[in-house]
């Protein structure tokens, strides 16, 4: 459904599948309209069947999601799919319910369970739903070690695999140079009229409570340095709040909002430090990309971030509720020079490389496409 990446589609087509993508292309979340249209155009170019369905994030969009159930049910009856691959929480619930009705095997990639050791207690209301539907899931993929351990202990999918995210091109790690860093930083300074001697902190993520940019702004206040500037790439409902917080803390000239951008590598190349302060993540791509682009990462000490901060050469973790701890880490790291990761660090990170992930996905798709003669047995898992 949603979050289907380009490489998965190409893998399926190389395996001679006819691929359909069903997602809400009308209300497309935090993507830009341009990016949404670019993806649609790419799908049509690849010969993928595109279905615009009314799935909406959150249980509050009940009517839309009831309509989506009917749309998905009609689609499954028409197309007689060999299997379906669902991703986001609401889509995974709707998809599995209708797949059970139509006896279609399901592959579910959980991009971070909403219930975790650090999540709010209210999030655990989802667990009974996930537990029940796991009986009707042929293949579950989880993308961080905490979720993998939990799934193995408590869920009942026929197969449960750990996969380290959607894959990052770590070959780019070897190509980043100091000259690229200097050039990218110069461009960023000019864009926001930042002084030449400034130190740059970047964060990539939606402007939401979960992404927790507030703690970084508060930490910068504690630094007491006018030469430290913070650039946030993303859009969301907290834009006005974060702007007002910067004004309230007398940091208006030091906090800059970039809106949604696809030029993440250029942003990371310009940075002196990247901060990923999220309160909850599945396996944040933003953090992996910052490491790949050669910037030191300070990440929240939560699942889905600490998985890839493999040692102090890559980055360090902090309590995402503690701006004092983050400020202390910034004091130690903001003036550090960029250095190449040693081979030991690179070897540890290669589990997240897209070649490794693509091989795993190819094997999973092959397995999903076999033995579907008894579709009901495959649908209900064990």
* Per-residue pLDDT at 175: 76
Distance CA 99, CA 355 (A): 30
Fold match between domain 6-167+353-379 and domain 170-349: yes
Give pLDDT < 50 ranges for the chain.
1-3, 373-382
Tokens of 109: 């990639």
Distance CA 28, CA 148 (A): 29
Give the CATH architecture of domain 170-349: 3-Layer(aba) Sandwich (3.40)
> Do residues 269 and 294 touch, judged by C-beta distance below 8 A?
yes
Question: For the domain bounded by 6-167+353-379, which CATH number is listed?
Answer: 3.40.50.2000
Calculated CA dihedral for residues 170, 174, 178, 184, nearest 10 degrees: -40
* Per-residue pLDDT at 68: 82
* Per-residue pLDDT at 116: 76
Q: Which residues of 292-322 are buried (b: 16+ CB within 10 A; e: fewer)?
A: bbbbbbbbbebbbbbbbbbeeebbbbbebee
Q: Which residues pair with 296 in a beta bridge?
A: 273
Domain ranges of the chain: 6-167+353-379, 170-349
Q: Where are the beta strands (DSSP E) in the chain?
A: 20-23, 49-52, 84-86, 106-110, 139-142, 159-162, 199-204, 228-233, 255-259, 273-276, 296-300, 315-318
Find tokens 């490389």 and name the residue.
Answer: 353
Q: For strand 139-142 and strand 106-110, is the pairing parallel, antiparallel, or unpaired?
A: parallel
The size of the chain, in residues, is 382
* Per-residue pLDDT at 4: 56
Q: Which of 99, 134, 142 is nearest to 372 (CA)?
A: 99
The pTM assigned to this predicted structure is 0.85
């Amino acid at each position: 459904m949603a979050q289907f990446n380009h490489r998965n589609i190409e893998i399926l087509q190389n395996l001679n599948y006819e691929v359909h993508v069903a997602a809400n292309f009308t209300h497309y979340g935090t993507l830009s309209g341009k990016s949404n249209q670019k993806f649609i155009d790419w799908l049509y170019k690849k010969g993928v069947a595109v279905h615009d369905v009314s799935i909406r994030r959150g249980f509050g969009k009940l009517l839309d999601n009831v309509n989506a159930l009917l749309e998905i049910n009609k689609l499954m009856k028409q197309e007689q799919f060999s299997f379906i691959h669902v991703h986001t929480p609401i889509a995974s619930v709707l998809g599995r319910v209708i797949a059970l009705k139509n006896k279609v095997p399901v592959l579910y990639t959980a991009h971070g369970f909403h219930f975790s050791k650090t999540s709010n207690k209210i999030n655990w209301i989802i667990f009974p739903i996930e537990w029940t539907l796991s009986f009707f899931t042929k293949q579950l993929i989880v993308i961080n070690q905490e979720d993998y351990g939990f799934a193995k202990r408590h869920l009942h999918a026929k197969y449960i695999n750990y996969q380290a995210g959607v894959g990052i091109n770590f070959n780019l790690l070897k190509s980043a140079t100091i000259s690229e860093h200097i050039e990218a930083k110069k461009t960023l300074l000019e864009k926001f009229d930042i002084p030449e001697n400034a130190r740059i902190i970047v964060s990539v993520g939606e402007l939401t409570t979960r992404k927790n940019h507030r703690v970084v702004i508060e930490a910068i206040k504690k630094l007491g340095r006018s030469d430290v500037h913070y650039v946030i790439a993303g859009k969301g409902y907290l834009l006005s709040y974060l702007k007002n917080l910067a004004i309230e803390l007398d940091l208006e000239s030091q906090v800059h909002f970039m809106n949604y951008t696809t030029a993440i590598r250029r942003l990371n190349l310009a940075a002196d430090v990247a901060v990923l302060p999220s309160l909850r993540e599945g396996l944040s791509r933003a953090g992996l990309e910052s490491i790949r682009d050669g910037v030191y990462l300070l990440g929240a000490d939560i699942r889905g971030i600490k998985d890839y901060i493999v040692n102090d050469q890559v980055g360090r973790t902090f309590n995402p509720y503690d701006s004092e701890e983050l400020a202390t880490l910034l004091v130690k790291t903001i003036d550090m020079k960029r250095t190449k990761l040693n081979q030991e660090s690179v070897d540890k990170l290669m589990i997240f490389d897209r070649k490794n992930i693509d091989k795993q996905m190819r094997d999973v798709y092959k397995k999903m496409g076999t033995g579907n003669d008894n579709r009901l047995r495959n649908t209900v898992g064990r």
